Amino acid sequence: MSGEPASQWQVFEYEGFDIHVLPQIKPTPEHAPPRAAERYVFIGRVCRHGTNADTPAEAVYFHADGDDEYRTAQDAVEEARHIGKSIIDGTHPDLSVLSIVSHRHPK
């Protein structure tokens, strides 16, 4: 993926959910020296398969932490995919899909 623009959403299906990932070039802070190479971050969304990931009530949003950066857009995508899977699996320490499954299908 190196050399390609980092502005394409990628979607991965996993366990009845979709993980949407958008790699982005990490901005260089205003007063920092220029970087020798671009670094990447990501934003992501997890939603039930087939629902609209742009609707906040239908998706769980996540992003790279402030200090995180990746050498390539593909590295950022792979990390975001891993985080999306942890959200779906219930192993992420802070995020869960419970809010997007329980409001639509109460038990």
Task: Say if 3 falls within a structural domain.
Answer: no
Task: Round to whole Å and give the CA distance between 51 and 28.
Answer: 35
Q: What is the pTM of this model?
A: 0.84
Residue 28 has pLDDT above 50, yes or no: yes
Task: Say if 64 falls within a structural domain.
Answer: yes
Task: Say if 4 falls within a structural domain.
Answer: no
Task: Say if 43 falls within a structural domain.
Answer: yes
Query: H helices of the chain, where?
Result: 73-89, 98-102
Task: Say if 1 falls within a structural domain.
Answer: no
What's the number of domains the chain is made of? 1
Tokens standing for 80? Answer: 């975001």
Range of the domain at 78: 10-102
- Please count the other Cβ atoms lying within 10 Å of the Cβ belonging to residue 18: 19
Task: Say if 62 falls within a structural domain.
Answer: yes
pLDDT tens per residue across span 63-99? 998 889 999 999 999 999 999 999 999 999 899 998 8
